[in-house]
Amino acid sequence: MEENSSFSFKFLIFNSLAWGIGYHGLALSWITGIHPMTWLGVPWWPSLAIALFCWAFITLWGAALVAVWAWLFLIFNTPIIERSKSKFSALISVLIGTALWCALEYLWSSSPLWWTSLSYTQSPHNLAILHLGQLSGPSASTAAIVAVNGLIAEAWVEGEKNQEEGRKVNFTPYILAVTLCLILHLIGFSLYSRPLTEEAKSQLKVGIIQGNVPNEIKFNSEGWGRAMEGYTTGYQNLANQGVDAVLTPETALPFVWTNPNQRFDLSLYQAILDRKVVAWVGGFGQQENSITNSLFTINGYGELVSRYDKTKLVPLGEYIPFEQFIGKIINRLSPLDAHLVGGKSKQLFDTPFGRAIVGICYDSAFAEHFRRQAAAGGEFILTASNDAHYTSAMMAQHHAQDLMRAIEIDRWAVRATNTGYSAFINPRGETVWISDVNSYEVQAATISRRKTQTLYVRWGDWLTPLLLVLGAIAQIFQRR
């Protein structure tokens, strides 16, 4: 019996690791796009080694979540299987499995490495299920996926057992799985179908400039000239269209904007003084002896009226974990002379048009970051990113993340990226406009400022603790 139990444990862990490596490894394969980093001065072979190490590490980090889930599920579920023959055993197993997965995703999303929640697999196409996010954030969509697939798995296991014992196939478990799937989609669709109430006085015409400046030339004179021409011309074009504000990508003009001597000589800055249209400009800020990846609000008088510093920095790309141990080996990953530091977690970004919700690049993966700003009065979303060194697959995933955030907090989202995909997304998760990849783009659209508060904005992720409590109660009840 012990040998069989040991075999089952090893088999379960092996399969969970294999699934985790397959899922996270495939989803995150774009990370190898950081190679080659010869433009940063890293030789070709070391660059390849760094890219493969990053891919392997982040894949195994995600696979570890699946393995830990399988281990915990085996611990909590085995007593139910061994001691009970209740017809509710399968349902309790699914409840426990769903609660554990949501809890682990919550813990993983609190770490510096987070991207591939199960919920994002439904974005951007399954808008009905994504609207469950308005109830309890991404955990609601994740719970739906785990629960439905868990019921299917339990049905399959029971079918195999019935076949071995010569009994007829019981279709009830399959019907239960299909029924739950339909109910969840109907709930999501009812949320999706609610009309968008937009007041004329809340409307705001915003322009996007997608600069299309490759990272290979971004920090030299060629890239600088291309950026200045593209952003100045784009700003003037949008100002002629009567926009209220213009958004540029992450580090569109890569210098310290808090130094006024650097701004005054820029053609873009002079254009702002001339046209008097508000600009949200991506650049660097200064924090004591370090610098920040920031987005600035510049009013028509050239004044910096607000600033947001990127909160979630990319490990290895923007800062070096355990720098005292491995800093000398991979310090060349950063093109900057000084290291970046993250912004404070409770920043607010006030603009001449009201409070905005801001995310820069990697921030997009962290739903709580956007929920907090919406709860603090944020009326629309601005995200600025630079995915120039990655494939279109990564750009699509990034768009999918921002689309989920728009749905969860019921806000319009404006995305400006360097090379794609830039977009306008309405609160239903519908992409009103999306750019091409690796092209220079200038686009304007009218959005609305909204003050609604979804259940998720008000209560946060209440579903995960509820599932854990229900799972514990059900397990105690079943044992008795």
Determine the pLDDT at residue 165.
73
Are 258 and 292 a contacting pair, CB within 8 Å? no
Q: Cα separation of 209 and 207, whole Å?
A: 7
What's the distance, Cα to Cα, between the start and end of the chain in Å? Answer: 24
Q: Identify the residue whose tokens are 């991207």.
A: 115
Side chain identity at 387, as an amino acid letter?
A: D
Residues 6 or more apart whose Cβ sits within 8 Å of residue 176: 151, 155
- In order of their start, the domains of the chain are 2-195+461-479 (no CATH), 201-449 (3.60.110.10)
The one-character DSSP state at 302 is S
- Catalytic annotation, pick one of 102, 218, 310, 379: 310
423-425 vs 413-417, strand pairing mode? antiparallel
310 is catalytic: yes
| Residue 462 pLDDT | 98
**What is the pLDDT at residue 321?**
58
Instruction: Give CA angle at 291 (287, 296), nearest 5°.
Output: 85
Told to judge if 181 belongs to the known catalytic residues of this protein, a careful annotator would answer: no
* Active-site option among 154, 361, 379, 408: 361
Q: 250, 318, 379, 408: which is the annotated catalytic residue?
A: 250
- For 237, the 3-state DSSP assignment is helix
- pLDDT given for residue 323 in this prediction: 52
Gyration radius of the chain's alpha carbons: 25
- DSSP state for residue 365 in the 8-state scheme: G
pLDDT tens digit string along 159-198? 877 777 777 777 788 899 999 999 999 999 999 999 988 8
Q: Give the DSSP letter of residue 31.
A: G
Q: Give the H or E element holding residue 423.
A: strand 423-425
Scan for tokens 């995150």, then name that residue.
28
- In this prediction the pTM is 0.92
DSSP letter string over 349-378? EEETTEEEEEEEGGGGG-HHHHHHHHHTT-
Contacts of 477 (CB under 8 A, 6+ apart): none
Give yes or no: 303 in active site.
no
Q: Report pLDDT for 6.
A: 58
In whole angstroms, give the CA distance from residue 295 to residue 126: 31
Beta bridge partners of 315: 319
- Cα–Cα distance for residue pair 363/97, rounded to 1 Å: 28
Q: Which residues of the chain have pLDDT under 50?
A: 1-3, 325-327, 329-338
